[in-house]
Amino acid sequence: MLQVIAKIARQVDRVFVALNEYDEIPEALLKFRNVEAVIPKKDLKDAGKFAFPVALDDIVFTIDDDIIYPEDYVENMLKFGDQIGLDNNIIGYQANAWVYKKRQDGFGWRNHLFFKPCKKIYGVDVIGTGTACMAGKNMPRLEDIQHSKGYIDVGFSLWQRERGNLMWTLPRVEDELARNLPDELQDSTLFNKFARHPALDMRSGYERIKALSAAQSGKVWKP
């Protein structure tokens, strides 16, 4: 966690950290002047990203503590934000698109993993909240999506689609963003706990996202 915070804190004005199930704030966090850490009264899981107030004109980056971000992560994101526009667009790296696949003669998910290369900007239906960037006005509040904690990417993406916002995955080379989770902790991830054994609400969320799939899903962004 400290490695991620140190990397991101140098690139942004403020960093908010939700310390789920902590007894106290680690002393090491106190050395960062632009970091505000809170211990939620209850475990918010991945919904903790949305437990902080933002201004409508802020530019917000949501991150995870198990990803290694490059030194120019924010700079690059802002360039893409200027290119695409953040008024009604959400951009990021980890993503999924509900698309027609010729080989199987039917629709299926096309996955864009954040640590795998991607050559162009593609429209998607689900954005991973560990690598997302958005305008403050498009940042859901905790009360809007806390029902989907554990599978917050689904709740977040559905919230965006219901408001007509579009989502885009960005170009990158392999391991531009890298995984930072030891093998022995893989079984403890929210993905393994929830995505591999989806609850009814999670499945219904995906079905709703499919029904709202945007026309740009799977297609290359054009100015």
Looking at residue 188, its pLDDT comes to 42
pLDDT of residue 171: 98
Has residue 145 got a pLDDT over 90? Answer: yes
Please report which confidence band the pLDDT of residue 194 belongs to, taking 50, 70 and 90 as the band edges.
very low
Contacts of 131 (CB under 8 A, 6+ apart): 62, 63, 64, 67, 92, 93, 94, 114, 177
Which tops the pLDDT comparison, 125 or 182?
A: 125
| % of the chain exceeding 70 in pLDDT | 91
Q: At residue 64, does pLDDT exceed 90?
A: yes
Instruction: State pTM to two decimals.
Output: 0.90
Domain segments of the chain as ranges:
56-211
Q: What is the mean pLDDT of residues 38-56?
A: 94
Q: Which of 79, 97, 121 is nearest to 212 (CA)?
A: 97
- Domain 56-211 carries which CATH code? 3.90.550
